[in-house]
């Protein structure tokens, strides 16, 4: 539960994406948030207040004259206790109202009378979005310090394809979770590797390992939440790409090396979380290799380049962080790798503590010694690691 104790005022305006707001409430509640819904009159034409009341467990407000609020000041009370006001979906009309400071219904009055941050997820037809008036209003909202979530582009309810779709409920939840994280890496560029590599032997076989990619993806997500521009180069994994992260898929260590070296210039931080194969077959057999009766293996192995060491050896290298997954002698091996690859920081973990699962135990090794992070979920460890990296980057 990533939103425990957070109080979210959710404004729903009139658009077909209002149906996605119902799913959004369910996901927010699942993450531990308390959700207070307010709807415009037009929104109630798409989804009834009963749906939102059932999902949020709280009465829904639509009218600024609602006598259910003791002091009759629903327009102030409903956001007074909120950590954030989220408007999803926000119609073109409602965005125009926000841009002009109108307060002629409950939700627009709440937006004007609030003292919490306002997050807006637009949803409208492509032409309404591209219209000069809407674009002018969006620029005004940005100038007023209002955060825009999306819109995305894709298929629209009207049958057209283009920009204007509301973000999916899961994406809005990710944005909200990120909103509450400290922006320790604001404006920094972070490049990461994650997952295993696959070194082909012949058309059907290869050398790989059991890395799930979970730790690397968690670090990518934590860096993105901290305000960084994140690029993730990953081997074959079945993890969903964290919202807002740019992902490049590769298969072999050589491909991962090429992709990373192409993107390393201009990065502030490089984090090698991938479990890169140390060796690959000298050549990939064109046809499936047959048993030929010889006892010796027909596969000759050659060493792969060390991606992390090569990035650390660049003329103006980013701040380089390595991972060392060991089955024993963690401190000795991790510090050895840190020295060999010339890294300021390496993160050690024992394979038996974290491989494949959602939890892990991490120990940080740098020139001054070791710091253990409290064991926990990979995402919490990733956030703690981002904090440690930000501290070291600032002191560089
Ligand atoms: O030497 P070892 O593979 O254990 O080092 C682990 C660290 O080095 C990890 O951060 C891993 O991503 C990185 N590495 C790499 N390229 C390799 C081997 C390891 O970037 N060929």
Listed in sequence order, the residues at least 6 apart from 228 whose beta carbon sits closer than 8 Å to its beta carbon are 185, 186, 187, 188, 189, 190, 268, 269
Strand partners, 365: 346, 370
**Ligand 1: does its nearest atom lie under 6 Å from the Cβ of 304?**
yes
Domain final residue pick, 137, 156, 179: 179
Q: Is residue 159 part of a domain?
A: yes
pLDDT of the residue at 81: 86
What does the alpha-carbon distance between residue 128 and residue 114 come to, in Å, rounded to a whole number?
27
- Do 196 and 157 share a structural domain? no
Helix (H, G, I), strand (E, B) or coil at 67: coil
What does the alpha-carbon distance between residue 110 and residue 87 come to, in Å, rounded to a whole number?
11
Kindly tell me the number of DSSP H helices and DSSP E strands found in the chain.
14, 21
Question: From the CA of 307, how far away is ligand 1's center (Å)?
Answer: 7
Q: Is residue 289 part of a domain?
A: no
- Do 166 and 20 share a structural domain? yes
Would you write out the chain's pLDDT as a tens digit for each of its 396 residues? 999 999 999 999 999 999 999 999 999 999 999 999 999 999 999 999 999 999 999 999 999 888 777 766 766 778 888 999 999 999 999 999 999 999 999 999 999 999 999 999 999 999 999 999 999 999 999 999 999 999 999 888 878 889 999 999 999 999 999 999 999 999 999 999 999 999 999 999 999 999 999 999 999 999 999 999 999 999 999 999 999 999 999 999 999 999 999 999 999 999 999 999 999 999 999 999 988 777 788 899 999 999 999 999 999 999 999 999 998 999 999 999 999 999 999 999 988 776 777 888 899 999 999 999 999 999 999 999 999 999 999 888
Judging by DSSP bridges, how do beta strands 363-366 and 345-350 pair with one another? antiparallel
pLDDT of the residue at 65: 82
Q: Is residue 224 part of a domain?
A: yes
Closest to 10 (Cα-Cα) out of 60, 51, 45, 48:
60
What does the alpha-carbon distance between residue 171 and residue 168 come to, in Å, rounded to a whole number?
5
pLDDT of the residue at 276: 98
Domain final residue pick, 179, 211, 231: 179
pLDDT of the residue at 354: 64
**Residue-number span of the structural domain to which 327 is assigned:** 189-282+299-394
Q: State how far the alpha carbon of 152 is from the alpha carbons of 43, 57, 116, 224, 244, in Å.
A: 21, 30, 25, 18, 12
Tokens 């400290």 correspond to 182
Q: Is residue 2 part of a domain?
A: no
What does the alpha-carbon distance between residue 362 and residue 64 come to, in Å, rounded to a whole number?
52
Q: 281 with 301: CB under 8 angstroms?
A: yes
Pocket of ligand 1, candidates 307, 308, 314: which has the most ligand atoms within 8 Å of its Cβ, to mutate?
308
Domain final residue pick, 179, 211, 242: 179
Q: Enter the pTM of the model.
A: 0.92
pLDDT of the residue at 157: 81
Q: 282 with 300: CB under 8 angstroms?
A: yes
- Do 360 and 235 share a structural domain? yes
Residues found in the chain: 396
How many domains are contained in the chain? 2
pLDDT of the residue at 72: 66
- Do 348 and 200 share a structural domain? yes
Smallest CA separation from ligand 1 atom 2, residue: 324
- Do 231 and 154 share a structural domain? no
Pocket of ligand 1, candidates 276, 336, 337: which has the most ligand atoms within 8 Å of its Cβ, to mutate?
276
- Do 171 and 235 share a structural domain? no
Q: 216 with 256: CB under 8 angstroms?
A: no
pLDDT of the residue at 195: 97
What does the alpha-carbon distance between residue 245 and residue 273 come to, in Å, rounded to a whole number?
16
What does the alpha-carbon distance between residue 78 and residue 10 come to, in Å, rounded to a whole number?
10
Tokens 């009139």 correspond to 14
Listed in sequence order, the residues at least 6 apart from 87 whose beta carbon sits closer than 8 Å to its beta carbon are 10, 11, 12, 13, 94, 98, 107, 111, 118, 119, 120, 121
Helix (H, G, I), strand (E, B) or coil at 69: coil
Question: From the CA of 41, how far away is ligand 1's center (Å)?
Answer: 57
Task: For Cα atoms 24, 26, 29, give the angle at the middle one, nearest 5 degrees.
Answer: 105
Catalytic residues: 158
pLDDT of the residue at 365: 97
pLDDT of the residue at 75: 62
- Do 235 and 100 share a structural domain? no
Backbone φ, ψ for residue 247 (5° rounding): -120, 140
**Minimum-distance ligand 1 atom for the alpha carbon of 322:** 10
By CB atoms closer than 10 A (0-12, 13-18, 19+), residue 7 is middle
pLDDT of the residue at 159: 84
């Amino acid at each position: 539960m990533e939103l425990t104790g957070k109080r979210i005022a959710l404004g729903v305006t009139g658009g077909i994406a209002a149906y996605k707001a119902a799913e959004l409430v369910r996901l927010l509640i699942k993450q531990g948030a308390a959700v207070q819904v307010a709807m415009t009159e037009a929104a109630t034409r798409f989804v009834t207040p009963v749906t939102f009341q059932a999902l949020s467990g709280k009465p829904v407000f639509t009218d600024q004259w609602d006598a259910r609020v003791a002091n009759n000041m629903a327009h102030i009370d409903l956001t007074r206790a909120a950590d954030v006001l989220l408007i999803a979906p926000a119609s073109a009309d409602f965005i125009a109202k926000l841009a002009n400071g109108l307060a002629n219904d409950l939700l627009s009055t709440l937006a004007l009378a609030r003292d919490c941050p306002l997050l807006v997820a637009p949803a409208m037809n492509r032409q309404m979005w591209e219209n000069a008036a809407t674009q002018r209003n969006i620029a005004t909202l940005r100038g007023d310090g209002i955060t825009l979530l999306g819109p995305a582009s894709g298929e629209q309810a009207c049958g057209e394809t283009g920009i204007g779709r509301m973000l999916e409920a899961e994406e809005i939840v990710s944005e909200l979770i990120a909103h509450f994280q400290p922006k320790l890496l604001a404006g920094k560029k972070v490049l990461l590797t994650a997952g295993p590599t696959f070194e082909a032997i012949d058309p059907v076989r290869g050398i790989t390992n059991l890395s799930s990619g979970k730790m690397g993806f968690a670090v990518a997500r934590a860096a993105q939440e901290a305000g960084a521009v994140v690029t993730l180069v990953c081997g074959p994994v079945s993890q969903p790409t964290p919202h807002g992260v740019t992902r490049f898929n590769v298969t072999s260590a050589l491909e991962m090396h090429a992709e990373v070296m192409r993107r390393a210039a201009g990065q502030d931080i490089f984090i090698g979380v991938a479990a890169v194969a140390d060796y690959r077959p000298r050549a990939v057999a064109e046809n499936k290799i047959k048993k030929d009766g010889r006892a010796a293996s027909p596969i000759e192995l050659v060493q792969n380049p060390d991606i992390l060491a090569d990035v650390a050896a660049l003329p103006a290298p980013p701040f380089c962080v390595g991972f060392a997954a060991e089955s024993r002698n963690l401190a000795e091996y991790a510090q050895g790798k840190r020295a060999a690859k010339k890294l300021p920081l390496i993160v050690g973990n024992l394979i038996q503590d974290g491989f494949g699962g959602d939890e892990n135990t991490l120990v940080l090794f740098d020139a001054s010694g070791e710091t253990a992070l409290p064991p926990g979920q990979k995402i919490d460890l990733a956030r703690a690691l981002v904090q440690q990296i930000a501290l070291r980057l600032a002191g560089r």
